[in-house]
Amino acid sequence: MSKDCTLNNSNNSMNLDTPSDMDHMYSYLPSQQVTVNPRVYPNTVSNGFNLRMATAAICKQSVYSHGAATLSIIRLMTMNDSAEYIAQYAGHTQEVTETFAGMLLEQSVNRRLKKAERTRYLILSKLAARIEQAPTGRITVEMLLNDAGLSRGTFYNNFRDVNECIYVLLALFLETWNVDNKRRSGSKDFFRAVFDTNLAYCLRYEKNAAFFAAFSYYASSMTELLALRNEINASWAIRVTRAIQRRFEAGFDGDENTYLQGALRMLILMTTGTLEEYYVHRNPQLRAAFKDVHQLAFALSRQWYPVLSNPAYAAAEVAHYDTFTR
């Protein structure tokens, strides 16, 4: 299967320090606009459905968005608590739906969308429900048609086959991975803020663990899903690096900037890998060490905090390595 997603990273320089910029990012995720390649998925594009617009539609209706840990950390580091900002952003949100499947179902009955869009969301919601029940179970077009009460022709007007439907669902899940947008008091110390971010991330990961299990299962045959995840992770490493620079008004040279982005990428991979082992594979060693979600979030935060709280971290590590290799 060829690469079928493209990422537009032209907006990585967006200023995250103003409410309007943050609101725009939550609504449209401009640095990660994903479009289905018409050479691979012609029906998806010809019928007007692309992942960017789907992401925009979902995020405008809720506080559901990708990048829970890293995006919340950026907000911790760059935003001041502001009643004006809360009021401004509240106008774009409705009641929170805790799971991805629930959000798709909500969109399928959203009368503000065209009927064709609601139909696509209905099909995706039925696929999501199947994945929630059995992340690696067999799924056929017939199963989805029976669940949705639709005709075969309606399905093929929207998706080429069940594999395309699965791809679109999981790619959309990556792009709209939920983030806790609730404002928290700015008076807490920075470690507490990092801990609260990780705790919220862990709790939401647990609620959506089935989709991560499905991602692991299908990614072996849909390599573009892995490519998409890698691009998103790389983008967040860049964004958190810039947030650290703004918070501490620090400047990094080329080597320091590269090292810090690499260290953040390691933390992102460590976090997602740990949560997959904990919630998807139910690793007994991790579950013995961390009895509940609070212990797990605390342990993750202890790894993140030294990097996020020290603007000299990269310079010190580069210097240590130079000394070590002499």
* Helix (H/G/I), strand (E/B), else coil: 5: strand
Instruction: In whole angstroms, give the CA distance from residue 229 to residue 297.
Output: 22
pLDDT band at residue 37 using 50, 70 and 90 as cut-offs: very low
CA distances, 137 to each of 66, 129, 172 (Å): 25, 12, 20
**Residue 184 pLDDT:** 52
pLDDT tens digits along 46-67 = 344 555 555 555 544 443 333 3
The pLDDT, as a whole number, for residue 9 is 31
pLDDT of residue 101: 84
- The three-state secondary structure class of 317 is helix
Give the pLDDT score at 294.
97
Is 30 or 318 the better-scoring residue by pLDDT?
A: 318
Query: Which pLDDT value is given to residue 232?
Result: 85
pLDDT of 45 over the 60 cut: no
Does residue 187 surpass a pLDDT of 70?
A: no
Instruction: Say which range, 83-87, 155-159, 258-262, has the weakest mean pLDDT.
Output: 83-87
Residue 233 has pLDDT above 60, yes or no: yes
Provide the β-strand partners of residue 172: none
Cβ atoms within 10 A of the Cβ of 211, count? Answer: 23
Contacts of 116 (CB under 8 A, 6+ apart): 47, 48, 158
Amino acid 80: pLDDT: 34
pLDDT at 50: 54
pLDDT of residue 169 exceeding 80, the answer is: yes
DSSP 210-278: HHHHHHHHHTTT-HHHHHHHHHHHHHHHHHHHHHHHHHHT----HHHHHHHHHHHHHHHHHHHHHHIII
pLDDT in tens, 84-106: 322 333 333 333 345 788 889 89
User: Would you say 190 and 309 are in contact if contact means Cβ atoms under 8 Å apart?
Assistant: yes
Amino acid 57: pLDDT: 52
pLDDT of residue 310: 94
* 155 pLDDT higher than 50: yes
Cα 306–Cα 281–Cα 272 angle in degrees, nearest 5 = 30
20-48: burial string, b at 16+ Cβ within 10 Å, e else:
eebeebbbbbbbbbbbbeeebbebbeeee
- At 204, the pLDDT band (50, 70, 90 cuts) reads confident
Query: Chain-wide mean pLDDT for the chain?
Result: 74
The token pair at 30 is 């401009």
CA-wise closest residue to 41 among 77, 1, 93, 92: 1
The pLDDT of residue 103: 87
Select from 244, 252, 249, 261 the least CA-distant residue to 76: 244
- Report the candidate in 222, 220, 257, 228 with the shortest Cα–Cα distance to residue 241: 257
pLDDT at 237: 93
Is the pLDDT at 176 greater than 80? The verdict is no
Confidence (pLDDT) at 65:
34
Q: Which tokens hold the place of 268? A: 């992102």
Please report the pLDDT score of residue 48 as a whole number: 44
Question: What was the pLDDT predicted at 262?
Answer: 96
Whether the predicted pLDDT of 165 surpasses 90: yes
| Coil/strand/helix, residue 29 | coil
Evaluate if residue 79 carries a pLDDT over 70.
Answer: no
Mean pLDDT to the nearest integer, 204-231: 88
CA 215 – CA 26 distance, rounded (Å): 23
Taking residue 159's Cβ as centre, other Cβ atoms within 10 Å add up to 25
H-state helical runs in the chain: 19-28, 42-46, 51-61, 68-78, 83-90, 100-108, 115-133, 141-148, 152-158, 162-175, 190-207, 209-218, 223-248, 254-275, 284-289, 293-308, 313-324
* Cβ neighbours around 323 below 10 Å, total: 8
Q: Residue 261, class by beta-carbon neighbours within 10 Å (0-12 exposed, 13-18 middle, 19+ buried)?
A: buried
d(CA 300, CA 194): 9
Contact 299, 290 (CB under 8 A): yes
Which range (29-43, 141-155, 172-186, 309-323) has the least confidence?
Answer: 29-43
The pLDDT tens digits for 116-153 are 999 999 999 999 999 999 999 999 999 999 999 999 99
Phi/psi at 80 (5° precision): -95, 145
- pLDDT (tens digit, 9 = 90+) per residue, 280-325? 999 999 999 999 999 999 999 999 999 999 999 999 999 999 999 9
